[in-house]
Amino acid sequence: MRFVDEFRDADKAHALAAKIAALCEPGRQYKLMEVCGGHTHTIYKHGLEDYLPESVTLVHGPGCPVCVIPMGRVDDAIHLASQPDVIMTSFGDMMRVPGSDGSFFDAKARGTDIRMVYSPLDSLKIARNNPDKRVVFMAIGFETTAPSTAMTLLRAQAAGLTNFSVFANHVTIIPAIKAILDSPDLRLDGFIGPGHVSTVIGCRPYEFIARDHGKPVVVAGFEPLDILQSIYMLMLQLSQGRSEVENQYSRVVPWDGNMVALKVIGETMELRPYFEWRGLGFISHSALKVRDSYADFDAELLFDVPGVRVADPKACQCGEVLKGVLKPWECKVFGTACTPETPIGTCMVSPEGACAAYYNFGRMNRTRVREAQVTRS
Amino acid sequence: MTTDRPPGGWIAEALREHEEHEKAEAEGAGRGHSHDAGRAARAGDVSHRRELPLADRERQVLDRIDRARRRRAKVREERITMSHGAGGKATHTLIEAVFLDAFRNPLLEPLEDAARLHISGSTVALTTDSYVVSPLFFPGGDIGDLAVNGTVNDLSMAGATPLYLSAGFILEEGFPVADLTRITASMRAAADAAGVQVVTGDTKVVERGKADGCYINTAGVGIIERDVNLGVANARPGDAIIVSGPIGDHGVTIMLARGELDIEAELESDTASMAGLVAGLLDAVPGVRALRDATRGGVATILNEIAKSAGVGVLVSEDDIPVRDVVRGASELLGIDPMYVACEGRLVAVVDGAQADAAVAALRAQPLGERAAVIGHVTEGPEGIVQLKTAFGGTRIVDLLVGDPLPRIC
């Protein structure tokens, strides 16, 4: 199939794998973080780690939007959805994210009207078709999905809708990367930069990583060959002692980003002073709220939001996993109390979450395959 | 306003249970093994973790997970959610923890598509299935032929010749009679094609809003005349795994027919009776060990049932699995995997490896099986695990889905 198969060619993968292996210095360990959950998903779905030398480890970063939503925020959303005459709309990924007393699915089973949408614009259709209801869109995601929320706000205002609002939970990627770089227990050699986020923000915002922290960044696409090539580009930089921002995904990502998208975000939303991230705690200027000029569409102003705060369960180590300090399986409750059926931590919910990806696709993968090879040789 | 609250509900319960198991395991390890092993069982304990090499620690954790997975199924939710109907893990848990627990008997326990009964010297297959598809009419079929073909296929998978069906209708007040006539006409046509008769039925009408137009339940009986005892528990290492044609057509057709996605594609449901296809296969190949129709949960779910029931491993190759380009394309766009998408006229066969070619030839001899293919084989281990060799050249696990395949946001 065109536009898919050419990015999954096993022969090209073997050639790239050989080039990566050739760049490994004997005795040196390489830890590369893929920031974006979409990359994590690709890596596991295609079994990409089977191509990497043992000395190259991929660390799964915080770029899974549902994984960083704190439990209290889910409780707040369920509280909103339970108000009289409210229809809440949400992306499919959110449906299973646990709050302190169950997920959207559980709330739905208790009678609240929560509907899955593919685009926030679908919420406007629902609002128009249900004039006696109040439709609240649960907006989540990084800069990738923020423009579509912004467009929805613009259109809602243009159409003069009075029964639509947004519960904004958009987060921004750079503060999260900063939090990880400042984390004392972390040793990373380079970053696979998020592809879709960069379509919007461009590559410049990562320059501080290369300049101030001396770590190379390669913005990558989402096909398995994209990721393998970006690993090669990172390894090449490391072997040459360079630390630069490079763009592997130039077929989609403009260096300066998408000015139109940035403009509509800026028009409709503004930075919050701080926002709570699952596992990472409060990070300043790391999330977006609806701008005052769109106050009529801000669910946080229209409704009484309780502002629930739920301490992460002690056993849950999502924070360490998100920062890449722990491998998913090193978490105390991984696979026992916390499974995709009953996810305690958000990393176990979305197929982009590091834990869910490892649990679903990767269990016993690399280590056991290697062990088998060692036994044979 | 801010309120603090501790996690409650099933989360608290899962954590409490986890602590109990941890304690029991740590004590067991402390008694039976060295001190180190006891420590390592508590894998989150950073200060002690350096004592074992990475690979060993990962293995310990994975073994612990396997133990957790073998524990008795338990429904944690207080209410039924949509996940319980999606055919994945939540459905399996519900069946085992509620239905099997209540009705347990040796005929039910194999959880095959149809029960196998011995009545006055004959072997009879009995099955039932309810149909709630939305929309009721879709490209390639409607709820009527689905209700006949689905039940006929469940009987066929037991190696039975389907004979008689019952049909129960739950109709919503206001449902157009013209639609009902259209549905019954396609049921009649499907029954004729499959060689079965609808011989008994039931009608109920519920108030507007209490149902979605029309639901149908059908039950079916068939007679097993061949000397076969098909079941996924029969799978042995070396057996071939075959699918009878391209997968995912029905599920993707329905998703697109709902009209929420604004994607148009040349695609029809694959709903069809497989009675003839199965008869042809069983006539030609004595070494068929199990047949399943890959409905809800898709081929991936069947493969997991094979691995778990027979205590074997399953290894399939992505390159060999027939999927139409339009299904692949739609799945890529929606972020779902065709392996989990429902079919209504495709079977998965487990066949003695030596007879794999004969089986494929027998299937291909019929129009419904034209694109039949061997997609992989049964392995000694790892027990209960399905692995996929990806087209890209890697390997990954194909697990049961938790609930419906949820579209990803980015």
The pLDDT tens digits of the residues spanning B230-260 come to 999 999 999 999 999 999 999 999 988 887 7
Contact between B96 and B88 under an 8 Å Cβ cutoff? The reply is no
- Which residues in chain A touch residue B3, judged by CB atoms under 8 angstroms apart? 306-309
State the number of CA atoms in the 13 A half-sphere of A170 facing the CB: 26
Does the beta-carbon distance from A310 to B93 stay under 8 Å?
no
DSSP H helices, B247-286, are 249-257, 275-284
- Chain B residues whose beta carbon lies within 8 Å of the beta carbon of residue A282: none
| Helix orientation angle between A224-239 and A10-23, rounded to the nearest 10 degrees | 20
User: Do the beta carbons of residue B255 and residue B246 sit within 8 Å?
Assistant: no
Q: How confident is the model at residue B50 (pLDDT cuts 50, 70, 90)?
A: very low
Q: How confident is the model at residue A78 (pLDDT cuts 50, 70, 90)?
A: very high
- Among the partner-chain residues A308, A310, A336, the one whose CB lies closest to the CB of B65 is A336
Chain A residue with Cα closest to B330: A1
- Cβ-based contacts of B333 with chain A (< 8 Å): none
How confident is residue A321, by pLDDT bands cut at 50, 70 and 90?
Answer: confident
Which of A37-41, B6-10, B406-410 has the largest mean confidence?
Answer: A37-41
Q: Please judge whether B408 and A350 are an interchain contact, meaning their C-beta atoms are less than 8 angstroms apart.
A: yes
Q: Quick one: pLDDT band at residue A41, thresholds 50, 70, 90?
A: confident
pLDDT at B184: 98
Query: How many pairs of residues across A and B have Cβ atoms under 8 Å apart?
Result: 225
For residue range B53-96, what is the model confidence (pLDDT) as tens digits? 667 777 777 777 777 777 777 887 889 988 888 888 889 899 99
Q: Quote the radius of gyration of chain B (alpha carbons, Å).
A: 23
User: What's the mean pLDDT in B199-205?
Assistant: 97
Determine how many CB atoms are found less than 10 A away from the CB of residue A119. 17
pLDDT digits (tens, 9 = 90+) for B262-293: 778 889 999 999 999 999 999 999 999 999 99
Hey, are the CB atoms on A118 and B43 less than 8 Å from each other?
no
* Whether the bond into A351 is cis, omega within 30 of 0: no
Q: Residue A25 — pLDDT band, cuts 50, 70, 90?
A: very high
Q: Which of A45, A166, A24, A255 is nearest to B405 (CA)?
A: A45
Cβ proximity of A51 and A228 under 8 Å: yes
Nearest-neighbour CA in chain B from A223: distance (Å): 10
- ipTM for the assembly: 0.84
> pTM to 2 decimals?
0.87
Closest residue by Cα to residue B80 from A116, A344, A100, A108: A108
**% residues pLDDT > 90 (chain A):** 64
- Interchain proximity B397–A306, CB inside 8 Å: no
Q: Which residues contact A254 (CB under 8 A, 6 or more apart)?
A: A199, A202
Helix (H, G, I), strand (E, B) or coil at A10: helix
> CA A143 to CA A149: how far, in whole Å?
10
Q: How far apart are the first and last CA of chain B?
A: 32
Q: Verify whether the Cβ–Cβ distance A92 to B392 is below 8 Å.
A: no
**Tens of pLDDT, residues B360-391:** 999 999 999 999 999 999 999 788 889 999 99
In three-state secondary structure terms, B228 is coil
Tracing tokens 């319960």 back to the chain, one arrives at: B13
Give the Cα separation of B394 and A52 in Å (integer): 10
Q: Is B260 in contact with A122 (Cβ distance < 8 A)?
A: yes
Q: What pLDDT digit, counting tens, does each position of B310-342 carry?
A: 999 999 999 999 999 999 999 988 888 999 999
The nearest CA of chain A is from the CA of B112 a distance in Å of: 23
Contact of B53 with chain A, judged by CB distance below 8 Å, is answered with no
Which of the four pLDDT bands, split at 50, 70 and 90, describes residue A175? very high
pLDDT in tens, A228-261: 999 999 999 999 999 999 999 999 999 999 999 9
Residue A323 phi, psi dihedral angles, 5° rounding: -80, -10
Residue A350 has pLDDT above 80, yes or no: no
Contact B14 A44 (CB under 8 A): no
pLDDT of residue A340: 81
pLDDT band at A65 (very low <50, low <70, confident <90, very high): confident
